[in-house]
């Protein structure tokens, strides 16, 4: 009779059912909270004693009370009997899975129904685990701890994923800004370069007050600024992808001579002799604008770091490939840095002495590899 009374949930007709108690709100660093629903008082007491050593346990006598408590203050794990009055364990599970803030709670079902079919039925209903009564305290603790550990791991992964998505969004916004700013800067720069060229053609270098020389200095400064804007635009366009190429027949020999001719004045100012060795005509399918960018940057680097010494350019066939070599005899790059300098924002020299963003060689590698080629550094005698 005493056992039967402990299964009874009937209240005197004159009394209203008390409101379901709520899960206590966790304090920082508090123990994890388990919500237990079972209509058998002995089983509730037993499970509560076992779990209370490690967890805060709220034990309720039916599924409806458990649902109200879980929706008000979601626990870390739900442990529910299958057969209960008002709302059974499967109904509780479905209701919790339907609510957005309890959808991912680990839910373990308890049942006296043994056998493979009963276990599969419990798991197919959406439960994370299924325990058959009677079970040992050790088994119960092990399963509860395992599911709470998995929940912590999932939450950590979700946090990391959110951080990654936030960073990706920040990168996207940055690249959009760089692209917009670069486009806006290019328009006045192009007009400025055209006007400088027109003025320079109409003014002699021998004019009073060295106007011609000053115009030439201004033109070089504008060209450096234009190259910087073009680099920023490239960074915003490329992102993690290779550049898109517009392939067409290109005579690389003619292109090399054009770029060298454009740099002759700079080479003379720095006392550098430019030596070119190339086949009379050597071509293939290339993106002309991108290959011009490659040759210009390699030649500018050679002039910057090899001042006062010859710079040699050679262009010849190597089997199915075309080999372009730009050789200077300047300060060189230590062997340990030769791979690193092809990464973003990497330099082999101090920025305060030589300037630059550390993006040039990274951009060149993207262009060369997009052409199915490769780029590398080799040591030259004495530098």
In the prediction, which pLDDT does 342 show?
A: 80
* Average pLDDT rounded to a whole number, residues 336-349: 74
Cα torsion 310, 315, 316, 319: sign: positive
Exposed (0-12), middle (13-18) or buried (19+): which is 21, by Cβ within 10 Å? middle
Confidence at 265, pLDDT banded by 50, 70, 90: confident
pLDDT tens track for 114-131: 555 545 665 677 788 888
User: 105 versus 29: which is more confidently predicted?
Assistant: 105
CB-CB contact of 256 with 278 (8 Å): yes
The residue behind tokens 């119960």 is 140
In the prediction, which pLDDT does 224 show?
A: 66
Distance, CA of 178 to CA of 237 (rounded, Å): 9
Q: Is the pLDDT of residue 16 over 50?
A: no
pLDDT tens track for 114-173: 555 545 665 677 788 888 888 889 999 999 999 999 999 998 999 999 889 888 887 777
In the prediction, which pLDDT does 208 show?
A: 62
Distance, CA of 227 to CA of 207 (rounded, Å): 29
In the prediction, which pLDDT does 140 show?
A: 92
The DSSP annotation for 142-162 comes to HHHHHHHHHHHHHHHHHHHHH
CB-CB contact of 295 with 259 (8 Å): yes
Token pair for 76: 């870390």
- Average pLDDT for the chain: 79
Token pair for 368: 């060369």
Q: Is the pLDDT of residue 30 over 80?
A: no
CB-CB contact of 129 with 144 (8 Å): no
- In a 13 Å sphere around the CA of 133, the CA atoms on its Cβ side amount to 16
Distance, CA of 322 to CA of 283 (rounded, Å): 8
* Average pLDDT rounded to a whole number, residues 206-232: 67
Q: Is the pLDDT of residue 57 over 70?
A: yes
Contacts of 115 (CB under 8 A, 6+ apart): none
pTM equals 0.46
In the prediction, which pLDDT does 335 show?
A: 78
Token pair for 18: 């008390």
């Amino acid at each position: 009779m005493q056992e039967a009374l402990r299964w009874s949930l009937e209240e005197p007709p004159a009394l209203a059912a008390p409101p379901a108690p709520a899960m206590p709100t966790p304090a920082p660093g508090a123990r994890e909270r388990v919500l237990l629903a079972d209509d058998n008082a002995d089983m509730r007491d037993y499970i509560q004693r076992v779990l209370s050593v490690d967890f805060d346990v709220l034990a309720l006598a039916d599924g409806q009370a458990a649902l109200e408590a879980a929706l008000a203050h979601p626990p870390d794990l739900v442990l529910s009997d299958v057969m209960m009055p008002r709302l059974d364990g499967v109904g509780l599970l479905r209701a919790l899975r339907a609510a957005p803030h309890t959808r991912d709670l680990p839910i373990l079902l308890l049942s006296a129904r043994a056998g493979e079919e009963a276990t599969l039925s419990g798991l197919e209903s959406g439960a994370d685990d299924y325990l058959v009564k009677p079970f040992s305290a050790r088994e119960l603790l092990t399963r509860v701890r395992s599911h709470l550990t998995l929940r912590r791991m999932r939450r950590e992964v979700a946090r990391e994923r959110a951080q990654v998505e936030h960073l990706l969004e920040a990168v996207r916004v940055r690249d959009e800004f760089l692209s917009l700013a670069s486009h806006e800067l290019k328009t006045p720069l192009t007009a400025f370069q055209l006007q400088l060229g027109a003025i320079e053609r109409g003014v002699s270098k021998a004019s009073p007050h060295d106007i011609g020389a000053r115009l030439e200095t201004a033109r070089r400064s504008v060209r450096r600024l234009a190259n910087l804007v073009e680099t920023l635009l490239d960074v915003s366009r490329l992102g993690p992808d290779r550049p898109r190429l517009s392939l067409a027949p290109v005579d690389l020999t003619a292109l090399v001579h054009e770029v060298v001719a454009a740099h002759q004045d700079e080479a003379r100012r720095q006392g550098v002799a430019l030596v070119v060795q190339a086949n009379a005509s050597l071509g293939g399918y290339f993106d002309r604008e991108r290959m011009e960018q490659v040759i210009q940057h390699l030649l500018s680097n050679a002039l910057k770091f090899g001042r006062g010494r010859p710079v040699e350019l050679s262009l010849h066939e190597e089997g199915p490939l075309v080999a372009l070599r730009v050789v200077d005899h300047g300060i060189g790059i230590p062997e340990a840095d030769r791979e690193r300098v092809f990464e973003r924002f990497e330099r082999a020299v101090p920025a305060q002495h030589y300037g630059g963003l550390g993006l040039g060689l990274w951009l060149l590698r993207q262009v060369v590899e997009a052409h199915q080629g490769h780029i590398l550094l080799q040591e030259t005698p004495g530098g």
